[in-house]
Amino acid sequence: MRKWMLVLALAAALMIPSAAMSAPAPKEIILGKSKIIVPPGALVGAQVDRVTRDTTLPDGSDLKNAYPFRVVTDKSGLVTYMEGRLAGQLIDYAKVQVVGLGPAYAKLVGETGDFYTEDGAGNFKFRVDPSKLNYSSVLYADKRSFAVMIDTHGFNAVAAPAIHLAQLSKKKLSLVIACMDLPSKAEAALFLAQNGINCYGPCDLFGSQIVGYKKDNPNAATVLGTAPIRKLKKGGAVIGNQSVRIALAEEIVVQKTDNAKYPDQYCDAPYNYFRAVQEKLGLALKLTPVVATIGQTDKLVAKAKEVGAQVIGVRVLNEKDAAPIAAWLKENPKNRAILFHSAAYEPGYDLFFQFPKQTSFGDLNPQVL
Q: pLDDT for 143-154, tens place per residue?
A: 999 999 999 999
Report how far apart the first and last C-alpha atoms of the chain are (Å, whole number). 45
113 band by pLDDT with thresholds 50, 70 and 90:
confident
10 band by pLDDT with thresholds 50, 70 and 90:
very low
- Predicted confidence at residue 184, as pLDDT, reads 98
Mean pLDDT along residues 169-198: 97
Mean pLDDT along residues 246-270: 96
Average pLDDT in the chain: 94
Calculate what percentage of the chain has a pLDDT beyond 90: 89
Calculate what percentage of the chain has a pLDDT beyond 70: 94
pLDDT beyond 70 at 311: yes
- Predicted confidence at residue 25, as pLDDT, reads 87
Mean pLDDT along residues 11-20: 47
pLDDT beyond 50 at 1: no
- Answer yes or no: are the C-beta atoms of 105 and 146 closer than 8 Å: yes
pLDDT beyond 80 at 5: no
pLDDT beyond 60 at 21: no
- Predicted confidence at residue 7, as pLDDT, reads 43
pLDDT single digits (tens) 47-71: 999 999 998 888 888 899 999 999 9
Q: Using alpha carbons, select from 363, 350, 152 the residue that is nearest to residue 277.
A: 363
pLDDT beyond 90 at 110: no
pLDDT single digits (tens) 152-171: 999 999 999 999 999 999 99
pLDDT beyond 80 at 221: yes
23 band by pLDDT with thresholds 50, 70 and 90:
low
